[in-house]
Amino acid sequence: MDITILSIFPKMFQALNESLIGKAQEKELVNIDVVDFRDFTTNKQNHVDDAPYGGGAGMLLQAQPIYDAMDYVEKKKPGKKRVVLLDPAGKTFNTKMAKDFAKEDQLVFICGHYEGFDERVKDLVTDEVSIGDYILTGGELPTMSMIDATLRFVPGVLGNSFSAEEESFSNNLLEYPQYSRPADFRGKKVPDVLISGDHEKIRLWRLEQALKKTLERRPDLLEHASLTDEEKKLLRKIRQNN
């Protein structure tokens, strides 16, 4: 996978050279380039923003430097691209979107700043995406979050190929509780079923715990979950016992 990020704060993305993403780059599972679109300004002041027509508070990112930066990216990396604009008004990012992004050969993220974008920038993009109903100072942090979530679904990035499938939200269920050694820590004991050695009982316990946690904390997720007959039966049992 090839990822390009357009930002006026390229140093922020040094964090992507660490941990699993850094290792994925070393293994050449993903290539990440950051393009500073300030380098493409044509005015003497090197500004990438200007006041909006019609007046109003704040400054808008201009279309020209972003268009020219995208022209540069296209010449350097020809081919079909999925271009993501970080915008608070966009669709909310989720696991399904991360899985879809992971199937792409080329992703481009355009990070906003200031009050917003010249509307014409949106003609360049395929997706307008937000990470939630709140405002940050720019699109850099949301971009890093999306890249991290997306790369977990790229084969080879995670050490355990099953990890991403078992984590929270992967099937619209929150993750079941997990424990490590020691079995008894300050009087807090690991559930007996987990040290029983009975894999079927462990599987059922984990499934029931995931359903219970989801029902308690995020019942909205169950509205969209495609539950199996086994899961529906366990869910009915949980509801009856509550």
β partners of residue 2:
31, 106
The answer on whether 112 is annotated among ligand-binding residues is yes
The answer on whether 238 is annotated among ligand-binding residues is no
Which residue type, as a one-letter code, is found at position 119?
Answer: E
Pair 13, 144: CB distance under 8 Å: yes
The answer on whether 135 is annotated among ligand-binding residues is yes
The answer on whether 138 is annotated among ligand-binding residues is no
Which residue type, as a one-letter code, is found at position 127?
Answer: D
End-to-end alpha carbon distance in the chain = 46
The answer on whether 195 is annotated among ligand-binding residues is no
The answer on whether 136 is annotated among ligand-binding residues is yes
DSSP string covering 76-144, please? HS-S--EEEEEEEEEEEP-HHHHHHHHT-SEEEEE--BTTEE-GGGGGG-SEEEESSSS--SBSHHHHH
For tokens 């699109």, the residue is 139
Known binding positions: 112, 131-136
* Residues contributing to the annotated binding site for S-adenosyl-L-methionine: 112, 131-136
